[in-house]
A and B are shown apart, each in its own frame.
Chain A
Amino acid sequence: MSTPARAVPTRLRVCVLASDEPTRKRLAALVAESGHQLAELSEPADVVLTDGILGADAAASTVALGAADEMFGGRLPNDATAAQVDAALRAVAAGLTVRGPSEPDRIFDPMPEEIAVPLTPRELEVLAAIGNGLSNKAAARRLGISPHTVKFHLESLFRKLDAKSRAEAVAKGLRRHIVEF
C-alpha cells in the first residue's frame, strides 16, 4: 500500500485572511463550526481560508470562498456549508485541488467544426439512448430493433469515435457536437 503524500491531522490549524472584519468573523466561525482550530497570522498553519480578496503566499494550500481564481488550491462558492469547508480544508491540506460544483466553467468556444465521419441517424439514436442510461436491451426496446442490432451499431460507434467505453462514446459522439439554435 502506498502512503499518502502528506499525513493530515484530524484537527487542522487554519489561518483566516479576509478583506474586512465581518467577513473575517464569518470565516472564523466556519473554521470553528467545521471542527478546526483558528491560527493567528503569526502562527504556523496547515491551511488558509480566505474570501479571495487578499492574495496569499501559499495559494496552493488556500481555500477561497466566492473567488474563482485558479491559483487557489480550493475554490468554493460563497455560501459553502461548514461540511463543505471542512472537506475542502482537509483535501487541500492533503495536497489536492478542490472546486465547488457551482463554479462557472464557461469557455468561449467556437461552433463545432465539421465532423470527418458523421454518424448515421440510427447510430445517433442508439447513442442518445445509451446516453440516457439505457441498457442494450432497453435501448433495443425503445428503438424497436433487436439487441443484436444495438450491439452492431455500438461496435460501429466505438470504431468511428475511437471510444473504449459507452461513456466515452457518448461524450465524444453526442455532447460535443450538439448545437442549440
Chain B
Amino acid sequence: MSDIAQNPLVNLSEELAERTRLARPLVAGIVAQGHRVRSGTLWRKDVAVASEQAFPDIAEAKINFADGTSLPARLAGRDPGTNIIAFRLDGTPEPAPLPAAEPRPGSLVLAFGADETGISVRLGVIYSVGPEWHSRAGGRIDRRIILDTGLTRRDEGGPVVDAAGGLLGISTLGPRGRALVIPSTTIEGVLKPLLSKGRVERGWLGLALQPVLVPEVLQSQSGQSRGLMVMSVSQDSPAAQANLHPGDILLAIGGESVASPRVVARRLGPDSVGQRIDLRLIRAGGIISVAATVGTRPSG
C-alpha cells in the first residue's frame, strides 16, 4: 500500500497550495467606485501594478489584500505601451518575491487574481517563450511569454509565479483571449519614469504608416522591395514640420531600412525624444532625405 506522503499527486497538490499561500501577500484586489474588484500585484511595499487596459478611467482606488487588510491607493502613472498602470499606497509590509528563473516552455506556473473572496488561482504551463516584442502602442516588452491558461478581465494584472515561487511578472489579456506575461524586468524598467512623471515618454513623429511594396522601378535604386507608406500626417506634428505628406514612402529611419514597423518602434524609444533623425523617402518617383525632430508620443 502506498504511503500518502509518497503519493506524487498529493505532493504536487500540497506544493501548489503552499506556493499559493506564499504568494497571497502579492495579490492586490483593486476596487474603484462603481466597479467590481480587478486584480493587481503588490510590487513594492508602496507600489502596486496592474494591467493598464483594465483601468480605462481611474484616479483613486482601494486595494484589498488576501489577509483582509484594505488600503487607499492613488494612481501614480500609466503606460499603454507596456500595458502597465502603477498605484501608490501607504503602509504595507515589504513583499519579498523571489526573482524568477529563466522562463522555459513547459514549466509550471501559477497565475493569481483577486476576487471578492480573496484570491483566485490558475495553474498552467508556459506555452511559448519568444524574444523581445513591441506592442502596437510602441512599448518594448523584453520577452514574449504566453501561458496556456485562460484569463479574464477580472484576473489579468495579478502575479504570475514559477514553480520555485519566483515572480515572472504580471498576467495580461492579449489578442484572441491569450494570457500573456509582462515580465518583471519590463515592469522594473518602466516603473521609475511612471512613478516620477506618471508616464513613459516615447518618440513620436505623427505618422500613420502601412507596409507597402516599393515600386519596381525604384527597387534597385533604393536597395529594398518594401517600405512604409505614409497614410496620414498629424497636424503640427514633427512629421508635418518636416513637410511629410500622405503618399510618401518611408524607406529608412536613422539610416536603418524599414521593412517592418518594428524597426520604427525600435528607433523611437524613450531615448529618441528631442533627437534629429534622418528619414529616407520615396516621393514623386524619386528618393529624398529629410530630417525631423522626434517629439513625444501623446498618451492614450
* Residues of chain A whose beta carbon lies under 8 Å from any beta carbon of chain B: 51-53, 55, 66-70, 78, 104, 106-115, 118-121, 124-125, 128, 174, 177-181
Contact = CB atoms under 8 A, between A and B. Distances in A.
Interface string B245-267: 00101000000000111101100
B53 A106 contact: yes
A106 B83 CA distance: 11
Given A120-B212, A181-B207, A114 B152 contact: no
Contact of B205 (A51, A53, A78, A181): A181
Given A69-B36, A111-B133, A178-B209, 8 more contacts: A66-B34, A67-B34, A70-B152, A107-B174, A108-B51, A110-B135, A111-B261, A112-B261
A125 B208 contact: no
A117 to B, nearest CB: 8
B136 A109 contact: yes
A111 B136 contact: yes
Interface string B194-212: 0000000001111111111
Interface string B204-237: 1111111111010000000000100101000000
A119 B35 contact: no
Interface size class of B (residues with CB under 8 A): 35 or more
B134 interface: yes
A60 to B, nearest CB: 16
A114 B259 contact: yes
A114 B226 CA distance: 10
A52 to B, nearest CB: 6
A181 B138 contact: yes
A119 B153 contact: no
Interface in B117-168: 133-138, 144, 152-154
A156 B259 CA distance: 22
Q: Is the interface of A mostly helix, strand, loop or mixed?
A: loop
Contacts of B180: 108
Interface of B: 34-36, 51-53, 56, 83, 116, 133-138, 144, 152-154, 172-175, 180, 203-213, 215, 226, 229, 231, 247, 249, 259-262, 264-265, 268, 297
A113 B211 CA distance: 10
Given A107-B174, A108-B173, A121-B215, A181 B134 contact: no
A52 B209 contact: no
7 contacts: A70-B152, A111-B134, A111-B261, A115-B211, A121-B247, A125-B247, A181-B265
A165 to B, nearest CB: 20
A110 B213 contact: no
Most buried by A among B56, B136, B207: B136
A118 B133 contact: no
Contacts of A53: 34-36
A179 B53 contact: no
A119 B210 CA distance: 9
Given A108-B51, A111-B262, A78 B209 contact: no
Contacts of B174: 107-110
A180 B207 contact: yes
A112 to B, nearest CB: 7
A4 B210 CA distance: 45
A68 B153 contact: yes
Contact of A51 (B34, B134, B260): B34
A107 B180 CA distance: 11
Contact of B133 (A68, A110, A121, A181): A110
A179 B261 contact: yes
Nearest to A114: B260
